[in-house]
Amino acid sequence: MDRNIITVQDVTARRRPAPGAAGSTADEAVAPALAAQADSYFDRLAKYVPVEIIGAYLLIEGLVKELTEGAAERWALLVLFLLGMAATWLFAWRVLRVARTAQLVMSVLAFAVWVFATGGWFATLGFWAPGWGTVAVIAFGVAVRIVQLGPLPQEPTPPPA
């Protein structure tokens, strides 16, 4: 599954023949289509959420909570949270080939919201309560509806080797 979000602009651009083209070429006929339609709200939501990083985070968080306590646990969870945000960006950019900066930012935000909603490092802070996590998830769901992405670059630039 391509994790780049497909917008109406992307679909329109793919359907429009290139300037100077006299119909479709053999390559266009056999190449897989980008998408027949733009991604739905739930498709966009699924593409924003970094499930691979969340899975790794869950395993490591369990180990951190097993092996540490008190201030050491708090610092370890903070470092894990910060590493998870960096890993989300890098994984989406290098492995999943997400081309838009706005989508990368939303994926990092999705990870941060997920950690906030489940506790993580935030649970070690005095203000945190599960209800705040619910509020954050709802706010992120609304943001997914509001954020409009520009079209995909024509030729995505591969990440440096």
Tens of pLDDT along 126-136?
A: 999 999 999 99
Domain of residue 74, residue span: 49-148
pLDDT at 31 over 50: no
Establish if 85 belongs to a structural domain.
yes
Establish if 42 belongs to a structural domain.
no
63 vs 65: CA distance, rounded Å: 5
4 vs 51: CA distance, rounded Å: 15
Better pLDDT: 160 or 70? 70
Better pLDDT: 12 or 65? 65
Q: Are 49 and 107 in contact (CB under 8 A)?
A: yes
Establish if 41 belongs to a structural domain.
no
Joined tokens for residue 161: 């080797």
Q: How far is CA 155 from the centre of its chain?
A: 20
Q: How far is CA 19 from the centre of its chain?
A: 33
Establish if 111 belongs to a structural domain.
yes
Q: Is 149 helix (H, G, I), strand (E, B) or coil?
A: coil
Establish if 160 belongs to a structural domain.
no
Chain-wide mean pLDDT for the chain? 87
Establish if 7 belongs to a structural domain.
no
pLDDT of residue 9: 87
User: How many independent structural domains does the chain possess?
Assistant: 1
Establish if 133 belongs to a structural domain.
yes
Establish if 43 belongs to a structural domain.
no
